[in-house]
C-alpha cells in the first residue's frame, strides 16, 4: 500500500462569535449566558453568542425592540468595543500564524493558512491551533480544511452545523468519500457559499440551481458568460480547482477611505451639519496620514432615515477634485463643508459620511511653491493628532469642529466594556 499523500491544503480559521467571545475574555460572568453586541449608537445587534442564537435572537434586530424582552430572557448586551476586538484579533492572528508557513488575514475574525500533510496530520494541526489560540487568548476558533478557499468555507459550515464536528472544532473536506462530499454539497443552499448572496441566489434559482451541488454541476464557461468570472471561479473551486490565491502580503495601500457615522439624534440645521463634517473630515485626514497616503478626490454625503415615513427621503452628495493630492485636514474639511449648504434645514438627517478616493502614497509629487493647500508644510495634521493622542478626542478641532462640549449627536455607547488591552487606566481588576 502506498503512503497517504501529503497534499497542500487551505485551512480557514475563524473565531466563534468573535465580538461576543472578546467580551467574555475579560468578563467571565458572561460565560454560558446569551450575549449580544450592538452596532454603533447601540443601534442593532451585529453579533451574538451561541446561547443568543439558540434563543432565536434575529441578527440585525434593533436594540430598542430587543431591550424589553432581553432582561426576561437573561440576555446581556454590550456596546461594540472595536478597539478591544482589534487588539484581540491581532493576538489571535499572530498565534495562528505560528502554525503555518503562509497566512492571509482575511478579516477581523478569519484567517486563511496553508498546511501540508495527510488528512490525519492536517486535522491534528487544526486541533493544535485551536488549543493554542484558546490558551494564549481565550478566544475559541474553528478550522475548515479543503483544497480551495471556497471548499474550506464549506468545511467550516460543517463545523458550525454538525453537532459532532462542532465538538471537535475541525473539519477536513478531504476526509469524506466522493459520494459523501456530494451529499454535503447537496445540503448547502447556494446562498451560503462564499460569493453568492441574495441577488445572485434569485437569478440562480430561476435556472433551478438551488444547492452547492447544483452549482458545482454547471459548466464553468457558461456560468462566466451568463453571470461573471466570479461565479465561474466559484464553480471551479467547488470542484476542487484553486482559483482564488492565498494573498500572503497584506496590501500596503487602500483604494479608498471612508468615515461615516450615524448620529445618536438627528441633525437638522446647516451649522450642526458643518460641525459634523468638520469633525468627520479631521478624523479621516488623520487616518489618511497614518496610512501614509494622499487623496485627490473627496465625496461627502448625508442621508435621512430609510425608516422615516413622515418626511421625504433626502440624500445630498457632493464630490470634489482637490487642487493637489493631500492629507491636509484643512483642505479636506473645506472640501466637505460644501455639503452643509445642500441640506434642507428642518429635515432630519440621521447619518453622514466623507469618502476619499484616488489615493496614492504620500509625497510622490512635489508641489510648486505657492500652489499647495493653505495648511501644507505647517504640520497641522500631525499636530492635531498629537494633541488628540494626549488630551483625547474632542480636545481640539478644526473650525466648526472645535467645540468645548461634545455635540448632542455624538455616538452613544451606553454598555461599553473597558479597553482592557490598549489603555492602562482600563485594565481589568482581578480579585482572588
Strands 45-48 and 170-172: unpaired
When binding is defined by CB under 7 A, the residue of 178, 208, 255, 312 that contacts DNA is 255
* Position 87 contacts DNA (CB under 7 A): no
**Distances from the Cα of 237 to the Cαs of 6, 143, 232, 341, in angstroms?**
20, 18, 9, 50
At 58, list the grid cell.
434575529
Buried b (16+ CB within 10 A) or exposed e, 275-298: bbbbbbbbbbbbbbbebebbbbbb
* Position 16 contacts DNA (CB under 7 A): no
Three-state secondary structure of 136-163: HHCCCEEEEEECCHHHHHHHHHHHHHCH
Per DSSP (E only), the strands in 292-348 are 293-304, 317-326
* Position 250 contacts DNA (CB under 7 A): no
**Distances from the Cα of 227 to the Cαs of 154, 200, 218, 232, 287, in angstroms?**
22, 9, 12, 8, 37
* Position 287 contacts DNA (CB under 7 A): yes
* Position 424 contacts DNA (CB under 7 A): no
Distance CA 235, CA 258 (A): 33
CB of 80 to DNA, least distance (A): 8
* Position 149 contacts DNA (CB under 7 A): no
Nearer to DNA, 119 or 223 (CB): 223
Window 96-135: residues binding DNA (CB under 7 A): 106-110
Nearest alpha carbon to residue 239 among 178, 307, 289, 311: 178
Distance CA 104, CA 114 (A): 9
CB of 311 to DNA, least distance (A): 10
At 335, list the grid cell.
472640501
Grid coordinates 451649522 are at which residue? 271
At 367, list the grid cell.
508641489
**Stretch binding DNA (CB under 7 A), from 117-125, 131-139, 303-311, 328-336:** 303-311
**Stretch binding DNA (CB under 7 A), from 38-46, 159-167, 213-221, 423-431:** 38-46
When binding is defined by CB under 7 A, the residue of 46, 205, 217, 318 that contacts DNA is 46
* Position 311 contacts DNA (CB under 7 A): no
* Position 176 contacts DNA (CB under 7 A): no
For residues 28 and 43, the answer to whether their CB atoms sit within 8 Å is no
* Position 60 contacts DNA (CB under 7 A): yes
* Position 307 contacts DNA (CB under 7 A): yes
CB of 226 to DNA, least distance (A): 10
Nearer to DNA, 104 or 110 (CB): 110
Count interface residues toward DNA (CB under 7 A).
Answer: 49
When binding is defined by CB under 7 A, the residue of 25, 50, 53, 62 that contacts DNA is 62
* Position 251 contacts DNA (CB under 7 A): yes
* Position 166 contacts DNA (CB under 7 A): no
For residues 271 and 400, the answer to whether their CB atoms sit within 8 Å is yes
When binding is defined by CB under 7 A, the residue of 36, 350, 380, 384 that contacts DNA is 350
The contact set with DNA (CB under 7 A) reads 39-41, 43-44, 46, 60, 62, 64, 106-110, 153, 193-201, 224, 228-230, 251, 254-262, 266, 287, 305, 307-308, 319, 350-351, 353, 358, 411
Amino acid at each position: 500500500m502506498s503512503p497517504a499523500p501529503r497534499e497542500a491544503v487551505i485551512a480557514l480559521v475563524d473565531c466563534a462569535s468573535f465580538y461576543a467571545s472578546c467580551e467574555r475574555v475579560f468578563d467571565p460572568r458572561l460565560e454560558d449566558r446569551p450575549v449580544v453586541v450592538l452596532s454603533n449608537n447601540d443601534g442593532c445587534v451585529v453579533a451574538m453568542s451561541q446561547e443568543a442564537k439558540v434563543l432565536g435572537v434575529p441578527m440585525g434586530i434593533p436594540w430598542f425592540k430587543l431591550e424589553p424582552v432581553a432582561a426576561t430572557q437573561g440576555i446581556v448586551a454590550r456596546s461594540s468595543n472595536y478597539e478591544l476586538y482589534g487588539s484581540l484579533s491581532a493576538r489571535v492572528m499572530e498565534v495562528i500564524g505560528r502554525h503555518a508557513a503562509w497566512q492571509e488575514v482575511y478579516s477581523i475574525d478569519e484567517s486563511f493558512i496553508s498546511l501540508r500533510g495527510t488528512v490525519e496530520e492536517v486535522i491534528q494541526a487544526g486541533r493544535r491551533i485551536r488549543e493554542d489560540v484558546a490558551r494564549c487568548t481565550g478566544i475559541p476558533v474553528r478550522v475548515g480544511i479543503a483544497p480551495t478557499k471556497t471548499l474550506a468555507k464549506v468545511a467550516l459550515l460543517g463545523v458550525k452545523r454538525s453537532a459532532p464536528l462542532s465538538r471537535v472544532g475541525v473539519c477536513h473536506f478531504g476526509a469524506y468519500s466522493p459520494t459523501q462530499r456530494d451529499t454535503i454539497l447537496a445540503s448547502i443552499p447556494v446562498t451560503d457559499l462564499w460569493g453568492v448572496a441574495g441577488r445572485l441566489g434569485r437569478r440562480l434559482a430561476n435556472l433551478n440551481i438551488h444547492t452547492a451541488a447544483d452549482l458545482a454541476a454547471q459548466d464553468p464557461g457558461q456560468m462566466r458568460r451568463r453571470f461573471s468570472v466570479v461565479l465561474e471561479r466559484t464553480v471551479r473551486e467547488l470542484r476542487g480547482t484553486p482559483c482564488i490565491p492565498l494573498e500572503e502580503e497584506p496590501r500596503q495601500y487602500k483604494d479608498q477611505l471612508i468615515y461615516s457615522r450615524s448620529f445618536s439624534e438627528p441633525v437638522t440645521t446647516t451649522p450642526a451639519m458643518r460641525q459634523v463634517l468638520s469633525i468627520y473630515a479631521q478624523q479621516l485626514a488623520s487616518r489618511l496620514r497614518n496610512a501614509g497616503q494622499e487623496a485627490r478626490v473627496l465625496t461627502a454625503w448625508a442621508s435621512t432615515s430609510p425608516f422615516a415615513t413622515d418626511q421625504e427621503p433626502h440624500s445630498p452628495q457632493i464630490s470634489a477634485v482637490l487642487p493637489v493630492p493631500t492629507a491636509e485636514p484643512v483642505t479636506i474639511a473645506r472640501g466637505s463643508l460644501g455639503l452643509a449648504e445642500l441640506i434642507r434645514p428642518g429635515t432630519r438627517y440621521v447619518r453622514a459620511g466623507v469618502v476619499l478616493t484616488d489615493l496614492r502614497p504620500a509625497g510622490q509629487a512635489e508641489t510648486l511653491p505657492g500652489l499647495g493647500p493653505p495648511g501644507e508644510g505647517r504640520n497641522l495634521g500631525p499636530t492635531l493628532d498629537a494633541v488628540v493622542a494626549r488630551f483625547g478626542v474632542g480636545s481640539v478641532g478644526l473650525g466648526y469642529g472645535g467645540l468645548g462640549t461634545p455635540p448632542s449627536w455624538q455616538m452613544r455607547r451606553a454598555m461599553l466594556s473597558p479597553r482592557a488591552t490598549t489603555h492602562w487606566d482600563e485594565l481589568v481588576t482581578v480579585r482572588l
